[in-house]
Amino acid sequence: MLHAFVFALPFSTPSRIFPQGANILLNVTPMLLALFLLNWLLEADFKAKFRRLKENKLTFLFCVSALFYALYLVGMTYSSNLKFGKDDIFLKLPFLLFPLLFFTANPAAWKPKTAQNLLYTFALGNLLTLLISLVRSFFSCGETFSIECFHYANASLFFHSSYASMYYCFSLLIIFNLLINKQLCLWKRITAWFMFFVFPAEIVLLDSRTGLIAFAVVIMAFAGYMLVFDRKKILSFGFYMGLLAVIFTVAFSLLPQGTNRLLATIRQTQIEKIEEEGDEQQPTEKMSFENIDARAQVWFAAVEVIKENPVCGVGTGDVKDVLIEKYAKYDFDVPLRKRLNAHNQYLQVAVTLGVIGLAVFVVFLVYLFWLSWKKRNILLFLFVLLGMVNFWTESMFEKQIGVMFFAFFFALLSYIAANNLMEKEE
């Protein structure tokens, strides 16, 4: 059942435009989570399960995750929009359920290679979404043969480019780690090599600015880990890094001139800086928002809300309404029309739950880093780092695809790290 869940996770994207029947068919992860919980309840023996929670030394992490979820429940008590709050409570339920299901599990029930096979299955699911998206792009080309059919939003059928980049980047890290440690049989190694080539190329074509930055950050962190803790494999790692550099160079060369969004943002920032320096002698009292990116507008509005509600936030149910009121006040057309969230998970938590919720969230992330460092679990470390970078430009926990991804893998990887379940190279 776990293999079915991780394989289906990349397909469970009800926010994308599909026929209603297709959405119901594809979005199976909530049903699978319900089956996990039902199986856990039917097994009973709760005394032994909660004893294992202590034995696995994951009690603190479970309590912090449960507290984070509980704060959203408390946030309902001072919310007016109970309908939105109720939906949000159900959306974030995986932060309570996945730690409960994993942290109380019996490590002896895990067979050799179970963990790595589970991670490999997730990568296969992402590969299938990638291939289906490529086929769709080929058909969309028609007679134009334009690379635009493979670029940015057109590159992903199942989810937004930022989420697709995050999923593919984590899949690449899984494959990279398995290849480095020689933990795959022949047929899996062949498939892994194929994924090693297509995932980075697709990350470039998706052209998510945050996705590209996050990829660079986690690869540098991976290199630092190898230099400090695993120098005997540094030559092998260097070989793979060289291949990645070639793949990225070729993929970037395929992008049409001037379409790279990251470089365009850097150039625009440089132009604005020059203009600001030229206008230093002509200061204005009122800030102009006409040329500011929509994401910067929602950040400004979110900070304003935090200043007005610093301790406990505006509540679970009212966060969207309050942000929209701020967009209307400052005449932010795009955020108002699209009813955008804070597009930053840290700001989103602070707006909803105040500095109390933000403090719990930061403690949660710091503890995951500490656990990964203590157990020398590179995948957990890179996963949290990947999430933290993406949190700066997306409110990942406001969509099922973000909540399911982070809640499942933080629980799984923490459990793997605490019990040393990843099989080592012989």
- What pLDDT score does 87 carry? 93
**266 vs 5, 260, 271, 366, CA distance in Å?**
39, 10, 9, 30
Does residue 274 carry a pLDDT above 80?
no
Q: Distance between CA atoms of 193 and 170, rounded to whole angstroms?
A: 15
For 127-174, what is each residue's pLDDT tens digit? 999 999 888 888 777 666 666 777 777 778 888 888 999 999 999 999
Q: Distance between CA atoms of 328 and 322, rounded to whole angstroms?
A: 10
Instruction: Answer for the pair 394, 342: CB distance below 8 angstroms, yes or no.
Output: no
* 94: Cβ contacts below 8 Å, ≥ 6 apart: 33, 403, 404, 407, 408
Round to the nearest angstrom and report the end-to-end CA distance of the chain: 29
Q: Is 336 exposed, middle or buried (0-12, 13-18, 19+ CB in 10 A)?
A: buried
If you search the block for the tokens 């979820």, which residue do you land on?
Answer: 69
- What pLDDT score does 226 carry? 87
- What pLDDT score does 351 carry? 96
Mean pLDDT over 191-200 rounds to: 92
- What pLDDT score does 278 carry? 54
- What pLDDT score does 319 carry? 93
For 363-411, what is each residue's pLDDT tens digit? 999 999 999 999 989 999 999 999 999 999 899 999 999 999 999 999 9
DSSP code for 208: -
Q: Distance between CA atoms of 304 and 250, rounded to whole angstroms?
A: 44
Q: How many residues does the chain have?
A: 426
Burial readout 220-238 (b: 16 or more C-beta within 10 A, e: otherwise)? ebbeebbeeeeeeeeeebe
If you search the block for the tokens 């059928």, which residue do you land on?
Answer: 157
When the pLDDT of each residue in the chain is averaged and rounded to a whole number, the result is: 84
- What pLDDT score does 404 carry? 94
* 251: Cβ contacts below 8 Å, ≥ 6 apart: 200, 201, 204, 205
